[in-house]
Chains A and B, each alone.
Chain A
Amino acid sequence: MSAPVAALDIRSVSRRFGALQALDDVSLRVEPGEFFALLGPNGAGKTTLISIVAGLTRPDAGTVSVMGHDVQRDFRAARRALGVVPQELVFDPFFTVRETLRIQSGYFGLRRNDDWIDELLQNLDLANKADANMRQLSGGMKRRVLVAQALVHRPPVILLDEPTAGVDVELRQTLWQFVRRLNREGHAIVLTTHYLEEAEQLCTRIAMLKQGRVVVMERTADLIRRFSGGKLVLRCSGATLPAELQPTVIEPPRHDAATGGWTATLRVDGNAEVEPMLARLRLGGCRIDELELQHVDLEDVFVRIMQAA
């Protein structure tokens, strides 16, 4: 039996700009209905990859298909299956919000699409700005119009390139509520963001790019579990920190004049290590007055992976 069609299938894609190898043999596959994060520092190649998927940039090597349609050879079907929210805050100053959406609809061959346009305006909190010129909108509103433009043809695959940059917290919540709904309805979502908390909360799988290469690709929960543990913040009295725990020190012991004890922060590589560490402290004559275990989040994982890769 053949494998089901991928929402997005990127195979061995490379792209060079002059001396810069923007993408180097990148392969990844996003399944229909998946919420996928593409993360990486600035210049990692995320936007180049999205541009190649969108047909705005051509790869030097490799192939990309959207819902089984090659983005070069079968560009019409591939683009109909794809909605892209570009990173740049771009708009056409000649038109109102509704005109902008009707025009975008028409490009996809949808002439009578007002019901869906109204729904988009409602869900993205733009209904009262429908007849306002694009120039009159705030940055956050323009960003939401970009989202509406990407969704106007109801694509099964949606690429969001930093969609919440410059959007305030309340509007961000509105946006994510709507995108989550689309995802529940079966749309595959690929998100790039610098807000790693968003990726952690929303995305079931994550790929991390560094210098044009995929350095990590796995389920979000597995990734965080793999880097489980974190930091153990201690306030102790009695003896000093045992020598065998010195290699785990993140912040060395500081004397606390008020209590006569000391505070320190130790690295814990896994939850299973906590109890043996506490036992060593007790055996060394330390009394543990207070402790706090701080777990890693995606941001810690991201930093560790980027430092290591």
Chain B
Amino acid sequence: MAAIEFSGAGFATLLRKELLRFWKVSFQTVAAPVLTSLLYLLVFSQALRGHVEAYPGVSYTAFLVPGLVMMSVLQNAFANASSSLIQSKITGNLVFVLLPPLAHLEIYCAYVLASMVRGLVVGAGVLVVTFPLTDLRFAAPGWALAFAVLGSAILGTMGLLAGIWAEKFDQMAAFQNFVIMPLTFLSGVFYSTHALSPFWQAVSHLNPFFYMVDGFRYGFFGVSDVPPAISLAAVAAALAVAAALTLRLLSRGWKLRH
């Protein structure tokens, strides 16, 4: 059946093109978000050092770094797919992707994988520049990697979804500012949910981004607000739902093929 065919060559080319697209402007797509995260760390750790201890024996600066790394991974994975697709739609060059014999699964995989690469490259950059400033340890790096990979895949998928839905930059900005930004900032990047009241803890647990950040942090400290296996299941479920929805829309050509 054509719907589940997969052409490696077409997919590889679209992936390469998407990687080149962000790499050609890497100052803006990689260096700038690394600098922003470094500024977050300097400002917040300076302001809150000595006032907050999220986990016993872990400084606030060390606590903050995994959150900032994950935030960078998520935001940049989202930005990659969403900006590529909306720019292509608005300038009209999406036609070059729609005319060739690319199936929706190939289009999905190429956009999401490129987004994951950008998210992970930026995350690695943030980790590298912030590492010397903290007493960070790696208690369970496999968990950290798993959450980084799954988190970037979800946000790459959401970026693709937003790119499919949005018809103008204004709508894309709204999606980013009213959906992605609040979910990211309220995911426990800057605080442990144990510091919240039971009500807000319960609300936090409805946010899939919380599980990505909490599980990722577990990889560094071996401590988390919820068990990492539960977080992994929540993240995997969120990815499955987002991927299924996006693939469905791509196969129908919703807002892409009229």
Q: Which among A104, A106, A110, A149 has the highest number of chain B CB atoms within 10 Å?
A: A106
Is A55 at the interface (CB under 8 A from chain B)? Answer: yes
Residue pair A94, B20 in contact (C-beta under 8 Å): yes
Q: How far is the CA of A139 from the CA of B199 in the complex (A)?
A: 60
Q: Which residue of B lies closest to A72 (CB)?
A: B2
Contacts of B88 in A (CB 8 A): 92
Q: How far is the CB of A168 from chain B (nearest CB, A)?
A: 23
The smallest C-beta distance from B80 to any residue of chain A, in angstroms, reads 13
Which chain A residues lie closer than 8 Å to B13 at the CB level? 103, 105-107
B20, B91, B100, B257: which contacts A107 (Cβ < 8 A)?
A: B100
A240 contacts partner chain B, Cβ-Cβ < 8 Å? no
Q: Given A57-B257, A107-B97, A108-B100, are A76 and B9 neighbors across the interface (CB < 8 Å)?
A: no
Say if the beta carbon of A144 comes within 8 Å of chain B.
no
Check: A286 CB closer than 8 A to any chain B CB: no
| Complex: chain B residue closest to A17, CB-CB | B258
- Residue A111 at the chain B interface, CB threshold 8 Å: yes
Contact with A along B4-30 (1 / 0, CB 8 A): 010101101110110011001100000
Does B258 lie within 8 Å of A56, measured CB to CB? yes
How far is B101's CA from A80's CA once the two chains are assembled, in angstroms? 6
> Is A90 a contact partner of B93 (Cβ separation < 8 A)?
yes
Interface size of B as a range: 20 to 34
Would you call A55 and B7 a contact (CB within 8 A)?
no
| Residues in A whose Cβ lies below 8 Å from that of B257 | 55-58
How far does the Cβ of A55 sit from chain B's closest Cβ, in whole Å?
7
Residues of B within 8 A of A51 (CB): 258
Give residues 101-135 of A contacting B (CB, 8 Å): 103-111
Closest Cβ–Cβ distance, residue B209 to chain A (whole Å): 30
Interchain CB contact under 8 A, B10 and A58:
no
Decide yes or no whether A210 CB sits under 8 A from chain B: no
Contact A106/B92 with A55-B257, A58-B257, A79-B99 known, Cβ cut-off 8 Å: no
Is B178 in contact with chain A by the CB < 8 A criterion?
Answer: no
A75 touches B101 (CB 8 A): yes
Known: A55-B257, A108-B10. A84 touches B99 (CB 8 A): yes
Is A251 on the interface with B (CB-CB < 8 A)? no
Q: Mark A54-65, 1 if CB is under 8 A from B, else 0.
A: 111110000000
Q: Kindly state the separation between the CA atoms of A304 and B100 in the bound complex, as whole angstroms.
A: 39
Is A74's CB within 8 Å of the partner chain B?
A: yes
Q: CB-CB contacts of B175-210 with A at 8 A, as 1s and 0s?
A: 000000000000000000000000000000000000
Question: In angstroms, how far is the closest chain B Cβ from the Cβ of A73?
Answer: 7
Complex CA distance for A95 and B17, rounded to whole angstroms: 9
**With known contacts A76-B5, A103-B13, A95–B20 Cβ distance under 8 A:** yes
Q: Does the CB pair B100–A90 fall under 8 Å?
A: no
Instruction: Give CA–CA (A277, B101) in the complex, Å.
Output: 61
Query: Which B residues are CB-close (under 8 A) to A195?
Result: none
Output the nearest chain B residue to A74 by Cβ-Cβ distance.
B2
Q: B2 near A88 (CB under 8 angstroms)?
A: no
Complex: chain B residue closest to A150, CB-CB: B99
> With A51-B258, A56-B98, A56-B257 given, can you name 12 additional A-B contacts, CB distance below 8 Å?
A86-B92, A88-B92, A90-B95, A94-B21, A94-B24, A94-B25, A95-B17, A95-B20, A105-B13, A107-B96, A107-B101, A109-B101
Can you report 28 A-B residue pairs in the complex whose CB atoms are below 8 A from each other? A54-B99, A55-B98, A56-B95, A56-B98, A56-B257, A75-B2, A75-B101, A76-B2, A76-B101, A82-B99, A84-B99, A88-B92, A90-B92, A90-B93, A91-B91, A94-B20, A94-B25, A95-B17, A95-B20, A103-B17, A103-B96, A104-B100, A106-B12, A106-B14, A107-B14, A107-B97, A107-B101, A108-B10
The 7 closest A-B pairs by CB, nearest first: A106-B13, A107-B100, A90-B92, A76-B101, A109-B9, A79-B101, A92-B93
